[in-house]
Amino acid sequence: MAEQPLFQSTQTARAALATETVFADNGVVSRTLFATSTTRVVLFAFAEGQTLSEHSTPRDVLVHVLSGRCEFTVNGQPHILAAGDLLHLPPGAAHAVNALEKFSMLLTLSKVEPTATGKP
């Protein structure tokens, strides 16, 4: 059964991200907070030393680090991010994540709108 997002597009709702963030002793925990056909918002919590291997998405990505520190490698270039930092990744950018310490982030994925030619 698919996880139900915390927020529904038809309702006004509030949540405390610190309360919603769940850390595992040795892993990565993710929770979809909001999802529509064009936008997805996911809350991630990483234990120190955890990684996500290199991957990409056809969507615009905004990463907002909520707590701790991580290394986000984008197209081979490392970026050290700390609480309060925001990072944009263009569609198709290859990226990987390494938790330098226990950290949490809010990931927003936005569908790229096609241009008049039908391509993003």
Residue 4: inside a domain: no
What confidence score (pLDDT) does residue 120 get?
A: 57
Q: In this structure, are residues 67 and 29 in contact, taking their beta carbons and an 8 Å threshold?
A: no
Coil vs helix vs strand at 20: helix
Tokens 């996880």 locate to 3
What confidence score (pLDDT) does residue 110 get?
A: 96
The CATH number for 101's domain is 2.60.120.10
Average pLDDT for 105-109: 97
**Range(s) of the domain holding residue 76:** 43-110
Residue 36: inside a domain: no
Q: Into how many domains does the chain fold? A: 1
Which one has a higher pLDDT value, 115 or 46? 46
Amino acid, single-letter form, for residue 110:
S
Question: Taking the model in full, what pTM does it have?
Answer: 0.88
Residue 101: inside a domain: yes
Average pLDDT for 13-21: 91
Residues 6+ apart with CB under 8 A from 54: 73, 94, 95, 96
Residues 6+ apart with CB under 8 A from 18: 66
